[in-house]
Chain A
Amino acid sequence: MKVALRLVILVASLLLVTNVVFAQTPAPVCQGELFCYNITATDENSNTNNDNWVVCLVSDIGVGWLYSYNADAYYDLYLFGGGPGWFNTSGGPGFANGDPNYTSWIAYGANESGFLQPIGEGSSKGALLTGEGVHIGGNTRYTIQGKKVPCKIAAPD
């Protein structure tokens, strides 16, 4: 009986350790539409960096997230319509396949903050992406140019 109890405790401990070791921060679930972009970031020292981004836009509430493969990090997106001289939080003008047009995105997350604009196709589903940002840790500014690509791989779990 004592041996069985010890065995149970041992197995439970092993399970706990295994769970802790392999635990990951749960990925946000995309409750909207997924897009993928191949982007090039150019910083103020002319260094360039290529990356793949997965973007999730939740059109009905005007938010979303962006996953960077290079940084292995998620960033919050806050979506706006209108622009460049005026903006709104409801999306538009007009709709793209029934969804509001969110033509400007604010990105914020671990060490990065930025402003993104999808261009082309006249909507938040733009074929091209342009923007600016800052690496907060080093206070380094950079610009972004991106091109929409098929999502071969979704954001990792």
Chain B
Amino acid sequence: MKVMFRLAILVAALLLVTNIAFAAPICDEHVCYNVLFTAENGSSHTEGWDVCLNHDGTGTLNTVTPLALFGDGPIWCGFDAHPKWTKWIMHSPAISGEISTDIFGVSLWGEGYITAANSRFIVQGLKRVPCL
């Protein structure tokens, strides 16, 4: 009985750890991109972006950078996801900028500023399916 009890606790703990490790962010639309990041000094690297897009026009980039979402564009924008959330404004003390996507959300491009590095940057990215 004692062994069974311990086994049950072990399985529960393992399940908890697994859930935490593989948990997807809670959001209305969860999308991921492979992004080429280029700083103004010409250095570049690729990185993965994990993006949450919510129906209320809010979102997050990599769970920490808040996003304000707009539709339409590119010259004029609306407040609905029409045809999709095609423009994202990044707004945090660490990073500010703008990301645009095509109407299918398959590709993205944008530009911004990293406060800590005192550097402007540009990005281009392609959607990664699945996210993991």
Chain A interface residues (CB < 8 Å from chain B): 44, 62, 76, 78-80, 83-89, 104, 106, 108, 113-115, 117, 119, 130, 132-134, 136, 139, 141, 143
Taking the nearest CB of chain B, how far is it from the CB of A40, in angstroms?
Answer: 13
Is chain B's interface secondary structure helix, strand, loop, or mixed overall?
Answer: strand
List chain A residues, Cβ under 8 A from B69: 141
List chain B residues, Cβ under 8 A from A108: 91, 96, 113
Chain B interface residue count, Cβ-Cβ cutoff 8 angstroms: 31
Report if A62-B58 is in contact (Cβ < 8 Å); known contacts: A104-B111, A132-B89. Answer: no
| Interface status of B112 (Cβ within 8 A of chain A) | yes
A62, A83, A132: which contacts B77 (Cβ < 8 A)?
A132
Q: List 29 contacting pairs A-B, 8 Å CB cutoff, sorted by A.
A: A78-B120, A84-B100, A84-B109, A86-B109, A86-B124, A89-B111, A89-B120, A89-B121, A104-B111, A106-B96, A106-B97, A106-B113, A106-B120, A108-B91, A108-B113, A115-B87, A130-B75, A130-B76, A132-B87, A133-B89, A134-B89, A134-B91, A139-B66, A139-B68, A141-B69, A141-B79, A141-B89, A143-B76, A143-B77
